[in-house]
Chains A and B, each alone.
Chain A
Amino acid sequence: MVAIVLIHMVQVFLFGAHKYPRELTWIIGVFLLLMTLGMAFTGQIMRFDQDAYWGLGIGASIASRVPIIGPFAVKLMLGGPIIAGATLSRFFALHVFVIPGLLIGFVCFTF
């Protein structure tokens, strides 16, 4: 999905389809790319293996470095102070409900 989205984006750019009057379509496309990367990251967590665990650790460490809201962002992301069952539930909800819902919404908007 990430590869196909990137190929499509390159094609849109090379065909100049981001130019007037379709600027907003491109901007929604950028959000769709971010959503797709979000799907990829949360999907990787769904395996809940070593890669998922340490990937989450890196994600949480990146979030913790954001000034001011860092600790809050980590707690929101992990559902507690450590990577545990609550973390998996949160990422399951993101992967299955929240991000697909946003994706469908944005795709409908581009039509």
Chain B
Amino acid sequence: MVLKLGINEWPMPGRVVKRATYEAEYHALTKSEGAPFVPYAVWKDMFFAAFIILAIAACAYYFGPFGPTGQPDPTIIQTAPKPDYFFLWLYALLSLLPPSLETPFLLIVPPLVIIGLILLPFLSGEGERAGSADLLQLSPCS
């Protein structure tokens, strides 16, 4: 899709995306200001890919492996297990919610969040690209 549709242009105040005119404007923009991915932009991708890989390797070198934290034995109850950082919010939320709300929360909220994320480009598919404009467009005040 990136090959077919091109890379998103830089957000500019006043440059508005409209379904009817966008593609012609984008082609005009690529003709006037565009530069081919190879060799003008590929170095950025290569540089940051290398940087991320080196950063992960450095973390592995300095911090070492995490865990294992103990035998996975259900008879050991003297334990305080907790998930890794990316699910800590869920762990905290579930421990704070009243038990009667746990099941409705678990079964309703995640699907709603996923549906909301999927619908996002259809709710704000036009207008200025800047995120601030988008937040205003989605907010109930607008």
Interface residues of A (CB under 8 A from B): 2-4, 13-28, 30, 33-34, 37, 40-41, 44, 47-55, 58, 62, 65-67, 83, 109-111
Contact = CB atoms under 8 A, between A and B. Distances in A.
30 contacts: A13-B120, A14-B11, A16-B8, A16-B17, A16-B129, A16-B133, A18-B121, A20-B22, A21-B23, A23-B125, A26-B120, A28-B1, A30-B117, A40-B86, A41-B87, A44-B83, A44-B87, A47-B69, A49-B68, A49-B69, A50-B73, A50-B76, A50-B79, A51-B69, A52-B68, A58-B94, A83-B72, A83-B74, A111-B1, A111-B2
A77 B2 CA distance: 36
B70 interface: yes
Contact of A109 (B1, B71, B106): B1
Interface in B84-128: 84, 86-87, 94, 103, 106-107, 114, 117-118, 120-122, 124-128
A52 B17 contact: no
Interface residues of B, number: 49
A88 to B, nearest CB: 9
Contacts of B87: 40-41, 44, 55
B140 interface: no
A110 B3 CA distance: 9
Contacts, number: 125
Nearest to B2: A111
Nearest to B56: A1
Interface string B37-64: 0000000000000001000000000000
A50 B81 contact: yes
B71 A50 contact: yes
Contacts of A4: 52
A22 B122 CA distance: 10
A34 B82 CA distance: 21
A17 B114 contact: no
Nearest to A15: B11
Given A16-B128, A26-B121, A50 B1 contact: no
